[in-house]
Each structure stands twice: as structure tokens, then as C-alpha cells.
Amino acid sequence: MQNVNMVLLSVLAVLFLLFAFVDVWYIIRFLLIAVRSRFNKRDFRRHPYTEEELTKDFTNKGIVLPSDLDVFLHMNNSKFFKEFDLARIDMAAKIGFLDVLKKHGGFFVVGAGNIRYRRSLKLFQRYEIKTRIVNWDEKAFYVEQKMIISKGFVAAVMYTKIAMKGITTEVFIKEFCGENIPSPEPTAEIKSWSESLELSSKSLNGEVPPLMRRHSITSLQR
């Protein structure tokens, strides 16, 4: 009996350490996405994507759990990022991004992200995340994500720049579509955001004089 108790205490201690120092639920959900995508993804080599299919919405559903809440009993801000992140991973897996990386090498990272919160989410509130590729340039894909609650209200919207490393977007497009199709036009929001990213890069590299930086900030505040 004493040995059984020791084993149980050891298991509980290991679980406590895992959940204290590792985001266990994130890893579990990531693995579930990877497994599920193997059965849901499209064979794009036999059935290439059209532009409309490549840029369509991918939908994920979720619910606000007690562990998602902040001290004000709303879903905390970081949880929005995590849910959007998992939705992007799910989209990438279903489209076949990982298959292309496996064949050609390289990898992708989040180069930039911008989120707007429009309404807080409460305990056990359900939501949908719609994720889609909006456009691309030589080095990155630009993704729009919307978190939608009851009556179709968009509670949050996020724009993400998925930067390619060691591979170009042209390789992906040729694999997905069978040819190098041109990128759709960016939305007004993404176009404006991309311009702000370019200005930020120039500023951080010291290419924009301080006076111009102050003028740009003042213009944005008007």
C-alpha cells in the first residue's frame, strides 16, 4: 500500500511540474492538429488549388475555459494570440505547408502580428476563428484571422505576416497550384499595415531621421 501511495505521489509530482513549467495543453492540441491533418489535408499534387481555394476561410471552433480567464473574468489577451496561432497551424497543415517544407527544406516564422480587440469573451462563451491567406509577396504570406461570436460579431481580428526562411513563396504557390499564379491584391488594412512595418524596419535600422519619425507618428495620430 505504501508503495502504491509513493507511485501516486510521484505521478502527481511529475504532472504538477509538467503543467507548472510546460504548456501541456498547447502541445497536446498541436499534436492533435498534426494527426488530424494527415486525414483531412488535400492531395494538392493530384488536385491543385485554384486561387479561390487557396485563399478560402478555414474554420476552427473553441470555448472559453476557466484556465483562459484573467483577474477580470474575461478571456485574457495572451489567449487570443494562442488560439489564433493554433488556427494558423491547422490551416497550414491542412493546405500542405509542412509537406512542401519537408520536400524543399526551409521553415517559416511569424514575422509580425497585429491584433485588434473589439469585445471581451466570458466564461464558457463559444467562438469561431476564420483564417485565410489574403496575399503574398516573395518572402511572406499575409494572413487574416477573425474571432467570431454570436450573431456574427467579430470580437477580435488579427493580421499576421508569415515569413519564409530558406524558401520563397513562389515555391509554395507552384506546388499548391501547379503554376506560379500572381498574388491577389492586399486588403486596405493589410496594405496600410505592411507600410507601417516597412517604416518600422527603416526606423529600427536608423534609416529614418528622428524628425521624420515624429512626423510619421503625428500623422498617424490625426
pLDDT tens for each residue of 62-119 = 999 998 999 999 999 999 999 999 999 999 989 988 889 888 988 999 999 999 999 9
* CA pseudo-torsion sign 168, 86, 121, 69: negative
What gap in Å lies between CA 27 and CA 36, rounded to an integer?
Answer: 14
Residue 21 C-alpha cell reads as 513549467
What gap in Å lies between CA 125 and CA 48, rounded to an integer?
Answer: 38
What gap in Å lies between CA 55 and CA 129, rounded to an integer?
Answer: 15
Instruction: Of 71, 72, 73, 68, give the one whose Cα is nearest residue 127.
Output: 68
| Confidence at 19, pLDDT banded by 50, 70, 90 | confident
pLDDT tens for each residue of 193-207 = 999 999 988 888 888
